[in-house]
Amino acid sequence: MAHNAAPLGVGIVGLSADGGWGARGHLPALSAAGGYELRALTASTPESARKAAAAFGLPESAAGTDAGELAARDDVDVVVVTVRVPRHRELILPLLQAGKTVLSEWPLGNGLAEAEELAALAAESGTRTAVGLQARSAPVVRYLRDLVADGYVGEVLSTTLVGSGGGWGPAVQERSAYVADRANGATMLTVPFGHTLDALTMVLSGFDSLTATTATRRTEVRVAETGATLPMTAEDQIAVTGRLAGGAVASLHYRGGSSRGTNFLWEINGTEGDLVVTGGSGHLQFGQVELRGSRGEETEPRPLTVPESYELAPGLEGPAGVVANAYVQLRADLAEGTHHVPDFAHAAAHHRLLDRIETAARTGTQA
């Protein structure tokens, strides 16, 4: 997917010199992917915008607080939105009106209604969009998908997944405390579970039917830096069972916090073999997992090495490396008219699946 054309100009909404996912994830990913160049940014205040411009080598004229003004710049081709979920809608709307390619962090909206509104406006305007469901871009996940498609396990009979949210446990960092409030839209259901569920449906298929149970077992959370306590309304237990479109039975359980035992285990069991994915975090979008498999006469799963051809941005490891793979795919999509990276329409469909889960849990019925 190498491209020798002029680099695409990138503007990042919410880029801070004080850290955050824009600086830790997107900037190194853009550099590793190649074919992109940071040209503008916005921050929450003029002072923080000037500070970010100085930190990232931009002139002050390229930094501001208005996403619409950023999108209006002739040297910006792609606008990346890396702010908290409650602000997505208000910031994305002017970007869609400007007609620039928009990449929004996941979740797309604070709830299904916002996601569907943004997807509809993108379709109406013809704006090219992308959403940060990067777990499906991880080399190991793409290889897993191809192993299943090529018949490694034969017919898929069932899949079982257990994961830990990491957050939504007994303590939370002060800058991340907003995730404890369900109303803010960045919950264990939408973030680690949502990312992983999107990868699962890519590798296998969507759900024909499902049932769900959710609960908030810890109703208070401690702020790590201060010791203060906050109410937690976001679910810290999510259990989903159902039948996939391909006929396989699926069982998923996510727990808040971290386990002293298993923090990520995903098995795919078939008529001819088994695939096992393990890791230390339930955030599959970070890509830090190991893949094993066995088939035929093999009795124990053995390590399966992901072929080098699946690594689209070699040299950058960790969570930012997965994002870099997504950026390589996005550049190819924009150049060739393909759709490797999910767009707003896909994001809205995934929000609908999460809404089905919430509805099933709330009503106790099959969805």
Decide if pLDDT at 70 tops 70. yes
Q: Give the tokens for residue 85.
A: 């979920």
Domain spanning 136-309, CATH architecture:
2-Layer Sandwich (3.30)
CATH of 8-133+322-342, one of 3.30.110.30, 3.40.50.300, 3.40.50.450, 3.40.50.720: 3.40.50.720
Q: What is the pLDDT of residues 91-127, one digit of tens each?
A: 999 999 999 999 999 999 999 999 999 999 999 999 9
pLDDT on residue 138:
98
Three-class secondary structure of residue 362 per DSSP = helix
Residue entry with tokens 């393990």: 278
By the 10 Å C-beta count (0-12 exposed, 13-18 middle, 19+ buried), 325 is classed as buried
State pLDDT tens for residues 28-60. Answer: 999 999 999 999 999 999 999 999 999 999 999
pLDDT score, position 2: 47
**How much is the pLDDT for 5?**
79
Using one digit for the tens of pLDDT, what is the confidence trace for 154-176?
A: 999 999 999 999 999 999 999 99
- Domain map (residue ranges) of the chain: 8-133+322-342, 136-309
pLDDT at 22: 93
* Whether the predicted model's global pTM rises above the 0.85 cut: yes
CA–CA separation, 49 and 21 (whole Å)? 16
| Encoded tokens for 192 | 């680690």
Instruction: Take residue 203 and report the two structure tokens written for it.
Output: 């590798």
Q: What is the pLDDT of residues 195-245, one digit of tens each?
A: 999 999 999 999 999 999 999 999 999 999 999 999 999 999 999 999 999
Q: By percentage, how much of the chain surpasses pLDDT 70? A: 99
At residue 1, the pLDDT reads: 47
The yes-or-no verdict on residue 367 having pLDDT over 90 is no
